[in-house]
Chains A and B, each alone.
Chain A
Amino acid sequence: MKEYQTITEISGPLVFAEVDEPVGYDEMVEIETPQGETLRGQVLESSEGLVSIQVFEGTGGIDRNASVRFLGETMKMPVTEDLLGRVLDGSGNPIDGGPEIVPDDRVDIVGEAINPYSREYPEEFIQTGVSAIDGMNTLVRGQKLPIFSGSGLPHNELALQIARQASVPEEEEGDDEEGSEFAVIFGAMGITQEEANEFMQDFERTGALERSVVFMNLADDPAVERQVTPRLVLTTAEYLAFEKGYHVLVILTDITNYCEALREIGAAREEVPGRRGYPGYMYTDLAQLYERAGRIEGNEGSVTQIPILTMPGDDDTHPIPDLTGYITEGQIVMDRDLNSQGIEPPVNVLPSLSRLMDDGIGEGLTREDHGDVSDQMYAAYAEGEDLRDLVNIVGREALSERDNKFLDFADRFETEFVQQGYDTNRSIEETLDLGWDLLSMLPKEALNRIDEDLIEKYYREEEAETAEVEA
């Protein structure tokens, strides 16, 4: 391996070095500082005689005399089933004081795209135990469903609740010992030590750690490393899912920090910036992360992703949530107003969406009435929401009886259906029954999205009468 002491320029996270042999694009680099510290980096651009290197740990301490070694290969992740239960840093080195990792295989972290022909369409319902998700925005295996949140909102609690409760209903009944196992891979990018502790404590408290792999890139770790962390996470996830047959749930937090790092590097490379200074290739870059969710035909395992992102200024047209929404299969949106009303989890179902829901629910999967109930609740809640604006102006008395019922529906929907607390685990049956409790407040004729037979079967006359009396 050839060593060079030919650094010509150091700028931000980038180092430029002259070489006399060709170096491959994306190859790994080690830089040894005069103090004896070894830093790692990656080739960003390779031309004859000159390469630019992005250094993961930051360029502090590097001078012109530092020596540069090219490792002759792209970045690899050492993978093994023994990773379960381990805590690693953002570059994949163990930080839990455990034994050294003996890899089964070393896999390129720039994953190859799954051939769309080889994919299997996701339609296996995952019960998260959260009504706002199960009932209204159902998650299925192999889906990528981000949580759109904002600073100060309890997205971590929701993510943890999902990680704790996620299960597939039929497995509970059957002998699940034999079936595929569940694993959680947690990738932290630029979160604070305190948040990290919150996750770790919960993992330890619930014993979830032994079926988890944790990657930690904290707020004070180098930003450039954040580019690598999610790729290590997903490479590990793919290995466990498609080689070892696990059902892997990947939680990535916080994508916003990842994108900031992308912008930082783009600026250092003097690239032409796109919207709000983010690089023009951010869509492609994010797609290379999110699209690594899915199922493969003939394969037991699956990768399901729940990325978390905080929307700057709660603005969902900001490039980060915007590009994410165009790639992911829906989104769960957290709402500041609901949060201040004390609703737990404060999920606003109206802008939330699960694109894969239609194929994952219904008879044989969840329950025959699921699709209609969810549609009807959406429509009724949306109508109630609209009426609230009106009430502010004209007052409740000016509204018709029908309108008042919709207003009540919207209130109860928030305080009874969405509200459940972070420790309540509701089965899908409970969620749907709760839905019927609420829908039965409305007159039968107003349920125009539900099949008549289903109304006959599930509609509760008593509820309707109570509502009548109250009104």
Chain B
Amino acid sequence: MSQAEDIESVDEDGVIESVSGPVVTATDLDARMNDVVYVGDEGLMGEVIEIEGNLTTIQVYEETSGVGPGEPVQNTGEPLSVDLGPGMLNAIYDGVQRPLDELEEKMGSAFLDRGVDAPGIDFEREWEFTPSVAEGEIVEPGDVIGKVPETASITHKVMVPPNYEGGEISSIETGEFTVDEVIAELDSGEEITMHQEWPVRRARPSDEKETPTEPLVSGQRILDGLFPIAKGGTAAIPGPFGSGKTVTQHQLAKWADADIVVYVGCGERGNEMTEVIEDFPELEDPKTGKPLMSRTCLIANTSNMPVAARESCIYTGITIAEYFRDMGYDVALMADSTSRWAEAMREISSRLEEMPGEEGYPAYLAARLSEFYERAGKFQLINGEEGSISVIGAVSPPGGDFSEPVTQNTLRIVKTFWALDADLAERRHFPSINWNESYSLYRQQLDPWFRENVAEDWPERRQWGVDVLDEEGELQEIVQLVGKDALPEDQQLTLEVARYLREAWLQQNAFHDVDTYCEPEKTYRMLGAIKTFNDEAFDALEAGVPVEEIQDVDAAPQLNRMGVADDWNEFIDELESDLKQQIRALY
């Protein structure tokens, strides 16, 4: 979190009046809404959330045990802000952008103590700055003035802060600097450093939003193949516990073809965050071959960390994402889980004794959710470039019931819906995304991209798959009543084809070295192989071959091995010719 160090600007101290969990009220505090304050003798960080007469209500980001009335409250006079600059990639923060590794060092313990603050970026470290503009050039807010090689895969672009006026560059430096050393001066008198601060609750400015036309390729067959999300799009993954929300989010964070990934672990399990911290540095980006961690920023606010910081971590994440977007990057933000965020709002709201809306959630739930998702999109930036933020939010509906307020309000906003299904998860069909309930409203606008970059008949082939699965859904209802053998042969064959679609194509093993990532071409060809089986089998059926014989051809079960095949192109070539040959041999 940004440290407001200029103590001169500190306003009058207030005095604590009452304490109830994370909510503290203070009197005589001269503060504005959303100012950051330090509470009590230990200086616990908090934020002003209500002002009523002389009474100010504060949500505290740390545990408040032992804090009592009479202790002082100090105002920093600044809203909750994040530090932006080189050093955010490869980092892991808590909900108010304190680096967790630094906290461990400062506290000298594996447990999180209170009242310790640390800046979000390293102020000591020197970075190699190379200017990209010369003295005498005119720069405007948002313009890139130079570059810093931040990590192996990402170049950090230093920009004129959006709240500057801009003007002619009167001097610019080259060489190694810390983030708060001045690297350029403008004739307006403004000085530029590599460090910017931005209040988290305000979106960074941009010119306008555009319609996204490029997919965020995830390497997951069911997502790329059936329910794609666009770069700059929004998606929700709701599902009951144990249905694989987190694994899906991790897969996206690992394999999505974004330039930058911001992963927000909001109110989830500690061990899961540890898994990310341990796994990501070892994984390679399939495109660049560089460690995945060098494009990733993690925000971890686990379920037992203070609830108010859980409320803010979503904002911290999206603000960091916007900063990288401003450099012209495609950013993907995963929020796991937005339900915990909503619950944090509910908890604070009930401590404030606000009038509750549906299921105890505050009446402003829908507004906050849409505000957040609206910060996603494909943007025309203020410097004329383009950048995007894709937001993928997990939702954890109580009891897996999608009619609850958080799911419903989210669905009104997002354009891609990946419905996780407990039944599928129980039979270990992963990813357990239900193909009947899920949808993507981006299909149409992304089709041209797939036609051009993967295959001309991508949409038609996908439609074939969808039709077969739909038909299976209807047939299954009959099968439940009369059994499979009572169906006519052609329908039995349809069921068999649909089974391969489900088992060989839709299922994907996230823990298998090869299967974990599936390029769109492979997704397309695997679907093609199943279609080959389908076409050949129906020809054979028409020629009078009994359905059992067709099902039992040796090559058919090989369809299930396509996903794990390393040299998939040859594997599928061979399989397709085997299928043709063996089925044609039957008649």
Q: Which A residues contact B (CB, under 8 angstroms)?
A: 22-27, 44-48, 73-74, 108, 110-122, 142-143, 242, 271-275, 280-281, 283-284, 287-288, 290-292, 294, 296-297, 299, 316-319, 322-323, 325-327, 329-331, 350-351, 353, 355-356, 358-359, 371, 375, 378-379, 382-383, 389-390, 393-394, 398-400, 403, 445, 448-449, 452
A299 touches B110 (CB 8 A): yes
Which chain A residues border B340 with CB–CB below 8 Å?
283
Chain A: which residue is nearest B275 at the CB level? A121
A117 touches B104 (CB 8 A): yes
| Alpha-carbon separation in the docked complex, A281 to B17 (Å) | 23
| Alpha-carbon separation in the docked complex, A318 to B64 (Å) | 30
| Alpha-carbon separation in the docked complex, A74 to B67 (Å) | 10
| Alpha-carbon separation in the docked complex, A111 to B17 (Å) | 26
A112 touches B350 (CB 8 A): no
Partner of A46, one of B68, B113, B271: B68
| Alpha-carbon separation in the docked complex, A113 to B427 (Å) | 35
The total of interchain contacts (Cβ-Cβ below 8 angstroms) comes to 221
| Alpha-carbon separation in the docked complex, A122 to B481 (Å) | 46
- Give the top 6 A-B pairs by smallest Cβ distance, nearest first: A317-B399, A47-B18, A287-B303, A382-B427, A118-B110, A22-B70
Of A116, A275, A287, A330, most buried by chain B (CB within 10 Å of CB) is: A116
| Alpha-carbon separation in the docked complex, A353 to B242 (Å) | 7
A22 touches B71 (CB 8 A): yes
B427 touches A291 (CB 8 A): no
| Alpha-carbon separation in the docked complex, A449 to B360 (Å) | 45
| Alpha-carbon separation in the docked complex, A322 to B400 (Å) | 9
| Alpha-carbon separation in the docked complex, A31 to B289 (Å) | 66
Of A48, A108, A113, A272, most buried by chain B (CB within 10 Å of CB) is: A113
The 0/1 profile, CB within 8 Å of A marked 1, for residues 227-256 of chain B is 000000000000011100000000000000
Which chain A residues border B307 with CB–CB below 8 Å?
281, 284
**In angstroms, how far is the closest chain B Cβ from the Cβ of A365?**
14
A45 touches B18 (CB 8 A): yes
Interface residues of B in 311-343 (CB under 8 A from A): 340, 343
Chain A: which residue is nearest B247 at the CB level? A355
Which chain A residues border B396 with CB–CB below 8 Å?
326
Interface check B305, CB cutoff 8 A: yes
| Alpha-carbon separation in the docked complex, A295 to B244 (Å) | 23
Interface check B587, CB cutoff 8 A: no
Q: List 22 A-B contacts (CB under 8 A).
A: A23-B68, A113-B111, A113-B305, A114-B110, A116-B277, A117-B92, A118-B110, A142-B271, A242-B110, A281-B307, A283-B267, A287-B304, A291-B270, A296-B110, A322-B399, A323-B398, A325-B240, A326-B241, A359-B275, A382-B427, A394-B483, A452-B561
Interface check B163, CB cutoff 8 A: no
Given contacts A119-B270, A291-B304, A299-B110, contact A48 B350 (CB under 8 A): no
With A108-B65, A121-B275 given, name 14 new contacts (CB 8 A).
Answer: A113-B111, A114-B111, A115-B111, A280-B350, A283-B267, A287-B304, A291-B302, A296-B110, A318-B399, A325-B240, A326-B396, A329-B269, A350-B427, A353-B425
A399 touches B343 (CB 8 A): no
B303 touches A25 (CB 8 A): no
A45 touches B271 (CB 8 A): no
Interface check B353, CB cutoff 8 A: yes
A389 touches B100 (CB 8 A): no
**B contacts with A, residue count (CB < 8 A):** 78
B303 touches A46 (CB 8 A): no
Which chain B residues border A403 with CB–CB below 8 Å?
484
Which chain A residues border B17 with CB–CB below 8 Å?
47-48
Chain B: which residue is nearest A266 at the CB level? B350
Which chain A residues border B422 with CB–CB below 8 Å?
351
Partner of B110, one of A74, A115, A353: A115
Given contacts A117-B100, A317-B398, contact A25 B66 (CB under 8 A): yes
Interface check B19, CB cutoff 8 A: yes
**In angstroms, how far is the closest chain A Cβ from the Cβ of B357?**
11
Which chain A residues border B20 with CB–CB below 8 Å?
25, 44-46
The 0/1 profile, CB within 8 Å of A marked 1, for residues 72-92 of chain B is 000000000000000000001
Given contacts A325-B241, A353-B242, contact A112 B270 (CB under 8 A): no
B269 touches A112 (CB 8 A): no
Which chain A residues border B63 with CB–CB below 8 Å?
110, 112
Which chain A residues border B66 with CB–CB below 8 Å?
24-27, 73-74
**In angstroms, how far is the closest chain A Cβ from the Cβ of B462?**
24
**In angstroms, how far is the closest chain A Cβ from the Cβ of B218?**
20
A112 touches B113 (CB 8 A): yes
Which chain A residues border B560 with CB–CB below 8 Å?
448
B557 touches A120 (CB 8 A): no
Which chain A residues border B242 with CB–CB below 8 Å?
325, 330-331, 351, 353, 355
B353 touches A272 (CB 8 A): yes
Interface check B184, CB cutoff 8 A: no
A274 touches B359 (CB 8 A): yes
**In angstroms, how far is the closest chain B Cβ from the Cβ of A316?**
8
Of B25, B300, B307, B427, most buried by chain A (CB within 10 Å of CB) is: B427
Chain B: which residue is nearest A383 at the CB level? B427
Interface residues of B in 430-461 (CB under 8 A from A): none
**In angstroms, how far is the closest chain A Cβ from the Cβ of B6?**
29
Which chain A residues border B104 with CB–CB below 8 Å?
115, 117-118
A113 touches B112 (CB 8 A): yes
**In angstroms, how far is the closest chain A Cβ from the Cβ of B545?**
18
Which chain A residues border B69 with CB–CB below 8 Å?
22-23, 46-48
| Alpha-carbon separation in the docked complex, A471 to B517 (Å) | 41
Interface residues of B in 100-136 (CB under 8 A from A): 100-101, 103-104, 107, 110-114
Partner of A322, one of B267, B398, B426, B482: B398
A319 touches B398 (CB 8 A): yes
**In angstroms, how far is the closest chain B Cβ from the Cβ of A210?**
29
| Alpha-carbon separation in the docked complex, A113 to B302 (Å) | 9
Which chain B residues border A358 with CB–CB below 8 Å?
511
Chain B: which residue is nearest A70 at the CB level? B68
A48 touches B70 (CB 8 A): yes
| Alpha-carbon separation in the docked complex, A47 to B18 (Å) | 4
Interface check B259, CB cutoff 8 A: no
Chain B: which residue is nearest A325 at the CB level? B241
Chain A: which residue is nearest B482 at the CB level? A394
Which chain B residues border A108 with CB–CB below 8 Å?
65
Which chain A residues border B103 with CB–CB below 8 Å?
115, 117
Given contacts A114-B111, A121-B274, A291-B270, contact A448 B398 (CB under 8 A): no
B557 touches A399 (CB 8 A): no
Interface check B273, CB cutoff 8 A: yes
Interface check B295, CB cutoff 8 A: no
Which chain A residues border B113 with CB–CB below 8 Å?
112
**In angstroms, how far is the closest chain B Cβ from the Cβ of A319?**
7
| Alpha-carbon separation in the docked complex, A394 to B63 (Å) | 61
Interface residues of B in 261-285 (CB under 8 A from A): 265, 267, 269-271, 273-275, 277-278
| Alpha-carbon separation in the docked complex, A118 to B353 (Å) | 37
Which chain B residues border A316 with CB–CB below 8 Å?
399
| Alpha-carbon separation in the docked complex, A287 to B305 (Å) | 9
Which chain A residues border B240 with CB–CB below 8 Å?
325
| Alpha-carbon separation in the docked complex, A118 to B561 (Å) | 40
Interface check B363, CB cutoff 8 A: no
A400 touches B111 (CB 8 A): no
Which chain A residues border B71 with CB–CB below 8 Å?
22
Interface check B485, CB cutoff 8 A: yes
Partner of A273, one of B19, B68, B360, B425: B360
